[in-house]
Amino acid sequence: MERRQQGKLSRNTVWKKIKSKSFVVKLVLAGITFVLICLFIFNIFIWKSDVSKLDNPVPQPTIIYDQNGDIASKISNSNIEGVSIEEIPKEVIHAVISTEDQRFYKHNGVNYIGIIRAFFQNLISGEVVAGGSTITQQLAKNVFLTHERTFTRKIKELILTKKIERTYTKDEIMERYLNQIYFGEGAWGIQRAAQTYFGKDVSELSLSESAILAGLIKAPSVLSPIKNLDKAVERRNIVLTLMKNEGYIDQSDVEKAKKQTIVLESKKFDDKYKGKYPYYVDHIIEEAIQKYDLTENEVLSGGLHFYTELNPTIQNATEEVYENGNLFPESQKDQLIQSGGIFINPSTGGINALVGGRGEHTFRGFNHATQLIRQPGSIMKPLAVYTPALEQGYDTFDLLEDNPLNIDGYQPTNYDKQYRGQVTMYDAVVNSYNVPAVWLLNKMGLDYGINAVERFGIPLIEEDHGLGLALGGMSKGTSPLLMAQAFSTFANNGLMVEAHAIKKIEDANGNLLGEWQKNATQVTEPDVAQKMTYMLKGVVNEGSGIKAQVEGVEIAGKTGTTQLPFLADGGAKDHWFVGYTPQLVGAIWLGYDKTDQDHYLLSTSSGTTTVIFKEIISKSASEISNKDFDLTLIENKYKQELKKKKYEEERKEEEKERKDERKERKEAEKERKEEEKKKQKERKEEEKDRNSKDKKDDED
């Protein structure tokens, strides 16, 4: 009882103290002191921050290292052509302010209303999902910071923003911002943007052109007028409306600008690459953005060091082959036959080489080795049909049906329109017969094929869930990168390692920013992988891939050809070949970007992509050992099968020889009889002549 009374008394005493004026005053003073200390510390950080880098718009180059640690290439946006604020039309500045930061000339670097709004959005979501960045904040982030969305980075951004605002005038900040920002198509800075899109100096830009360039800042790749003029015009109109709302122009200016004809005229510049291997470097940039959350600006101007899986010997070999026009079919004059090739180390998943196209390279242009999406044709058969069939208990020399097939109206045919009754799985693979593949997928169950393809890392959608999947029939398709990665499973005893180009990334000071973490999937069992390799070796040794043979190197692989989307006398839309040695897997695609009745392939993949693959492997011989495929799990069993197959082939050959001998004897007997008949006829004629002569002599 006494304790309860003492506790009550103690609480009353505390409450009285809180209610006392002196305590409230002390609490307020403590709060003010805390705020002042925080502001003092904050200002110390601002004072110590160095933003002098803004005086020089030239960034540090990013260095690319090959798998040996040697410098392979350097990339930089150091071709920025800075211009003064006086040279930039007021329409450009007004357009940028209207879209990016309406209160630019009114605030002191921070839009507190925007920050408060973003703060509550981030608080609700539990992470940084929105920002209230001003132009000054964007400049601080682009030049000094990474693009990660964390509260620590936002605090650093605020400190640098305040330092920039205290160091430079608003016009100087705007000038540096417009000289640093990326406008797409390799154009850094407003001057290069004006030259890249309109072939003119920034001072000559019209209101319409200024609005287009300002609109690009939001998403330069998507809104580029070179890639999508309609989207660029739509975005321009939004910018013009915002400019009107801010009072920079009136409605008549908007209407006049909308009526102006947009003339795209790019001025040519030197390639920003200071070294070699532009397509490989393009992919490194893409991988850094997608897998390591870096921005293109960070990659190109951050002075980073990329350590990669690039093999210079194989990369040089690939580039040499792609520069040799004699190895490719003749193109139509108005469109070049395109191609993409990629080579992966199956045990590590490292991309050793890639070339993303033929003809003139465009910075971060379309990459046919990694970004192409096309139907794969028969190279899908090992993934969708034969691997799951082996997993379900079928075997290499089991007999499959090869007769006319009609499954709910779906009637596949073989390429030669012939049927052979029954064929072994081996022969079906080697000769790329279509009907046995569809028959087998239907018999074992479509779901097994769908599941297998997805295990191989090939994305499918609902429209792909049909028996046509056996022959590579997909609503969209897949890429050489994904097909090379999938086939690496067979070369690596059923284990598929995710393909990658980057091993690690360091900043200019050697600090680790990111490192490759091995991501492997056991797609199938080792014995299944070896059985597939055994059959795919047959494709190269005696089937449609025979032109991929390289003396002294064991090669397995599969050809693929896709049909034209219109009726034509022969021809194909796409040619594929995916081949591999024990140490290297390569995928080659060939075709027109735009296939129509005037642009399609006339030959078959057995004479195009296989030859390209062979030439690259031949030139890369120093990197490929004479090691044979590991077939130890099936060797003994298949030795007996091979012995039996060889015996049957020899027996068939002997039977054929006996038939030929019987035929020859029959023909010889027939010739002898005909000769005898002929002689008898001649004798009769002679006898007749003698009788006639004797009769005449008797009459005389």
Would you please indicate which residues are annotated as catalytic (active-site) residues? 100, 378
- Phi, psi dihedrals of residue 465, rounded to the nearest 5°: -85, 70
- Is residue 172 classed as helix, strand or coil in its secondary structure? helix
| Cβ count near 61 (within 10 Å) | 21
Q: Number of C-alpha atoms within 13 angstroms, CB side, residue 548? A: 32
- Phi, psi dihedrals of residue 477, rounded to the nearest 5°: 140, -150
| Cβ count near 167 (within 10 Å) | 16
| Cβ count near 147 (within 10 Å) | 14
**What do you get for the CA distance between the two ends of the chain, in Å?**
179
- The C-alpha atoms of residue 246 and residue 93 are separated, in whole angstroms, by 12
DSSP-assigned beta bridge partners for residue 478: 374
- The C-alpha atoms of residue 685 and residue 654 are separated, in whole angstroms, by 45
Under 8 Å CB-to-CB from 475, ≥6 apart: which residues? 461, 463, 464
DSSP string covering 551-600, please? TTB--EEEEEEE--SS--SS-BSEEEEEEE-SS-EEEEEEE-SS-BTTB-
Under 8 Å CB-to-CB from 658, ≥6 apart: which residues? none
DSSP-assigned beta bridge partners for residue 307: 65, 504
- The C-alpha atoms of residue 630 and residue 492 are separated, in whole angstroms, by 9
Question: Residue 612 is inside which H or E element, if any?
Answer: helix 609-619
- The C-alpha atoms of residue 685 and residue 293 are separated, in whole angstroms, by 103
CB of 571 closer than 8 Å to CB of 562: no
Question: Residue 339 is inside which H or E element, if any?
Answer: strand 338-344
Burial (0-12, 13-18, 19+ Cβ within 10 Å), 671: exposed
Under 8 Å CB-to-CB from 35, ≥6 apart: which residues? none
Which residue, among 386, 398, 442, 395, has the nearest Cα to 424 in the 3D structure? 398
| Cβ count near 160 (within 10 Å) | 25
CB of 274 closer than 8 Å to CB of 251: no
Q: For residue 375, which amino acid is it?
A: Q
SS (H, E, C) 24-83: HHHHHHHHHHHHHHHHHHHHHHHHHCCCHHHHCCCCECEEEECCCCCEEEEECCCCCCCC
- Phi, psi dihedrals of residue 405, rounded to the nearest 5°: -125, 135
How far are the Cα atoms of 39, 49, 137, 164, 304 from residue 44, in angstroms, in the given order? 9, 9, 19, 14, 29
Could you tell me whether strands 585-591 and 338-344 are parallel, antiparallel, or unpaired per DSSP bridges? antiparallel
Instruction: Name the region of 5 (left: φ>0; alpha: ψ -120 to 50; beta: rest).
Output: alpha
Supply 282's token pair. 């393009």
DSSP-assigned beta bridge partners for residue 399: 424
DSSP-assigned beta bridge partners for residue 338: 591
